[in-house]
Amino acid sequence: MYSLFTYKLFNLSTFIQPFNPLTRQPANKYTIILNAPSFLSSRTVFPLLSFRTKFTLLPLSFRTERKRSEKSAIEAKGMLSFLVILLSVSTHAQNLVSNGGFEDENICVEYKQNCAPEAWVANSFYDNYYYYTPGKAHDGTHFVGLAAGTAYKTPGTHYFIRTRLLCGLQAGHRYQLEFWVRSRHDILDSVGVYFSAGDFLYEKRNYKEIQPQLWAVNALDTLDADPNNWQKVRLMYTATGDEGYITIGSFNRKEWTFRNAPDMQRNYYFYLDAVSLVPLDKQEGLCPQADSVKADIYRENQRHEFLRRQVYINTKNPPPVKPLPKTANRPIPPKQHIDTLIIPDIFFATASYQLSPKSFGSLDSFARRLNTFQVDSVVIEGHTDSVGTLAYNEALSRNRAIAVKEYVEKKLPAGKIPFTTRSYAFLRPVRSNKTPAGRQQNRRVEIYVYRRE
């Protein structure tokens, strides 16, 4: 995993020693340590994948300082992950891709380093594509960078990153794909999305022979070259039913002619973050096996040389494609409505819970309507004015609610609808109890009907 700094190294004599940037201990991986300019931290650590001894400084478009100690970084990372998990429960509960924000770090089996995101694998076996840059990611602290061309070289370098879907897509169903991109080069219109049954890493065809189903340019408002501006891409995809993997990268068939300096190792990059794929049908959700599929995906720890060997073998003899369990159709609970009926004080005898004959017509009509609805429950609440003691009014309001309940229940089939009664005395007035008109409105029975469409 790497951090992008304001300056890139190329042709400046430096001191090189094996160094682990996380533990601050010697490691089996070369790292450059230099005295940084005053606007950076006093010591800047830059991990490398290749051995070089001379570097120059070339300006890049943004900078970061990794100031936290190992302990505080781990604590902050844990707290951030916890918050992200809480937020993602509601916003991405049905996301069909794992680790779309690249926050979960994979520890490769070769170097025992967090040099790649979990669930996502790029075809750049040795080069830098995973970034930890607080304040520069669209969401969280991590994102990925993919090369879309190379300076002074044709054909240029093109990197792709792929992940396995958590569930198979249903043929004919539509899905919303969303991700964020940025680049300081005019290359975002070459970013494509390719859905495939098999693993893209084992693809024998050249990428120029592959037709991605979706292009980012179809969803971008502008091709903004400001690297500090993340641009949202939102695309709709109609599934064929055999999808198992999703791959994102630069599928441009014609090599670009770049006018500015490359980003890293003579390559020109675009950056990617916050990938999600969700069904448009609200009744479609993750398959029951999604958690076990995710666990299998997270167990794929081969990177670098181990991954290169695996790709070499499987490209010659591709493994059989294992179909994923399809997304599940889950019923949506019907919408619930609440109807309210207010029975005023005049429907009761004075200072009594005895129903007045004036109330029978309204209550009979109400009972007939209940028979026409799908009713979950009925709540009846009794209220009084403030004349008298609290105990007296509690009893009066309770008995009036019960009287209404018993009358309506007799008009319905036994046990068809559950009724609940509540008594509030004068504790929930709707008007002031200082006037006769206000007290009259406070003496009431309210009926709430909870029904489904």
Q: Specify whether domain 68-329 bears CATH 3.40.50.720.
A: no
Q: Average pLDDT over the chain, rounded to whole?
A: 77
More confident residue, 344 or 141: 141
Domain boundaries, the chain: 1-66, 68-329, 336-452
> Topology of 336-452 in CATH?
60s Ribosomal Protein L30; Chain: A; (3.30.1330)
**Confidence at residue 268, expressed as pLDDT on a 0 to 100 scale:** 86
Secondary structure of the chain in the HEC alphabet? Answer: CECCCCEEECCCCCEEEEEECCCCEEEEEEEEEEECCCCCCCEEEEECCCCCCCCCEEECCCCCCCCCCHHHHHHHHHHHHHHHHHHHHHHCCCCCCCCCCCCCEECCCCCCCCCEECCEEECCCCCCCEEECCCCCCCCCEEEEEEEEECCCCCCCCCEEEEECCCECCCCCEEEEEEEEECCCCCHHHEEEEEECCCHHHCCCCHHHCCCCEEHHHCCCCCCCCCCCCEEEEEEEECCCCCCEEEEEECCCCCCCCCCCCCECCEEEEEEEEEEEEECCCCEECCCCHHHHHHHHHCCCCCHHHHHHHHHHHHHCCCCCCCCCECEECCCCCCEEEEEEEEEHHHECCCCCCECHHHHHHHHHHHHHHCCCEEEEEEEEEECCCCCCHHHHHHHHHHHHHHHHHHHHHCCCCCCCCEEEEECCCCCCCCCCCCHHHHHHHCEEEEEEEEEC
- Please determine, for residue 413, whether its predicted confidence score (pLDDT) is greater than 80: yes
Q: Which of 25-39, 67-81, 135-149, 245-259 has the lowest mean pLDDT?
A: 25-39
Is the pLDDT confidence value at 173 over 60? yes
- Whether the per-residue pLDDT at 165 is higher than 80: the answer is yes
For the stretch 331-389, pLDDT in tens is 766 677 788 878 787 688 888 999 988 888 889 988 898 888 888 899 999 999 999 99
Residues 397-408: pLDDT tens digits? 999 999 999 999
